[in-house]
Amino acid sequence: MERPRILVVGGGFAGVECARRLERQLAPIEAEIALIAPFSYELYLPLLPQVAAGVLTPQSVAVSLRRMLRRTRIIPGGAVGVDPKAKMVILRKITDELAAEPYDYLVLAPGSVTRTFDIPGLVEHARGMKTLAEAAYVRDHVISQLDLADAATSQQERISRLQFVVVGGGYAGTETAACLQRVTASAIRRYPRLNPNLIKWHLVDIAPKLMPELGEKLGDDAMEILRKRGIEISLGVSVAEVGDESVKLTDGRVIPSRTLIWTAGVAASPLVNTLDAETVRGRLAVTAEMRVPQFENMFALGDAAAVPDLAKGDGAVCPPTAQHAQRQGKVVADNVIALIRGHEMKPYFHKDLGLVVDLGGADAVSKPLGIEMQGIAAQGVARGYHLMALRTNVAKVRVMTNWLLNATAGDDFVRTGFQSRRPARLRDFEYTDSYLTKEQIRDYTAELEARK
């Protein structure tokens, strides 16, 4: 009897946790497990701002898939289309060739991409913080602005190069602004010709509160910490237009700046649009067991799925966080196994463990199990949580070593130049234009069928 094929799409928190659980709970003779991932690592996204800041090396947050997964077949590529009728996933291999992968059970965990809006100049000038390449680019870019400002012959150019705008008052935006502000504040000592007062960081968000999930007190504490460092926080406004040398806000202000880091939320992977399935705010609508009801043996979870939040009720869906993604991965794995073995599936229900926000140095705010903390204690909780969440001992040691080295030796503020000749638009780093249309998917699967 042929073993059923379980295909997991996505090498992020949700997909990897699902594959790990499947390996542990299923005997090799029960099923064949495969995972489609464009990179050979799971990116530990919560620490990406520290990569951009040079606190951590890129390898520290790139957790090896082959260390975590022992018998899962890892397929190097990205899923660009799904044909549920043919039970086939179309993928674009890292060689850019198209290929098809059949499945009996499909787990969709393709994650998300940076959410953008129809703002003039945004897609041409915005820099994201969603991938390892984007973090490396942002670090090089920020340091290059200091270098270029130091060499500038006009004050106007110098001012525009030393003002930085971060859009998004959530965790990603707040931590990015906080970590990179520390970089420029430390680096300026190496530039004796530059006036430190010219360096300005702006954190902009349309919401009335910074990180509202933290609660009013901790959110206000975080704002106070950032403002004391000189970061200007503008709430209730957004970006109206982006140019080569300026960012115009919706309140009419024009900030002379050549750096816009865009972290204003995420949108489900474009893979969702290749399916004729119901969506909720762009995410696949799924049951409490995370099944996609329109299709047989298909599950979806993580950022790409609107998973009902049974703890909150009233139609709420789980937010796109790493904490939810990892837990959902385990439940989906259990439900796939239940389906294979003819057992009853279980719904996803979670208990919130709390939130941690690392603002760099000794600054942090945390809310573990509802207990509000700030300062050194909050920093200890934040870093302890990250170490616990990293899935290999090698990754834990690398991160701890990097933290210790940065705390004792500091940073050399070196530009690597790895990304200097590469287009830096969001779509270039996040491959949002790589996906197939429904018609292209049908044509491709029909062509495969004709070849048989």
Domains and CATH numbers, the chain: 5-114+267-352+433-447 (3.50.50.60), 122-264+354-416 (3.50.50.100)
* 452 band by pLDDT with thresholds 50, 70 and 90: confident
> Of 161-175, 354-368, 396-410, where does mean pLDDT reach its minimum?
354-368
Pick 428 or 189 by higher pLDDT: 189
Per-residue confidence at 1, pLDDT binned at 50, 70, 90? low
Paired with 169 in beta bridges are none
Q: Write out pLDDT tens, residues 104-150.
A: 999 999 999 999 999 999 999 999 999 999 999 999 999 999 999 99
pLDDT tens readout for residues 325-365 = 999 999 999 999 999 999 999 999 998 888 899 998 889 99
Report the chain's mean pLDDT, rounded to a whole number: 95
Are 418 and 58 within 8 A, CB to CB? no
- For residue 423, pLDDT over 80 is answered with no
**Run of H or E residues at 255:** strand 254-256
Residue 208: CB atoms within 10 Å? 9
Bridge partners (DSSP) of residue 7 are: 34, 106
Q: In whole angstroms, what is the distance from residue 431 CA to residue 360 CA?
A: 30
Give φ, ψ of 45 to 5 degrees.
-55, -40
Taking alpha carbons only, the member of 69, 65, 108, 62 closest to residue 89 is 108
Q: By the 8 A CB rule, do 295 and 318 touch?
A: no
Could you give the CA distance from residue 246 to residue 446 in angstroms, rounded to a whole number? 50
Question: Alpha-carbon distance 137 to 23, whole Å?
Answer: 36
Q: What is the DSSP letter of 317?
A: B
Q: Residues 256-302: pLDDT tens digits? A: 999 999 999 899 999 999 999 999 999 999 999 999 999 999 999 99
Residue 226 scores a pLDDT above 90: yes
Residue range 241-268: mean pLDDT, rounded: 97
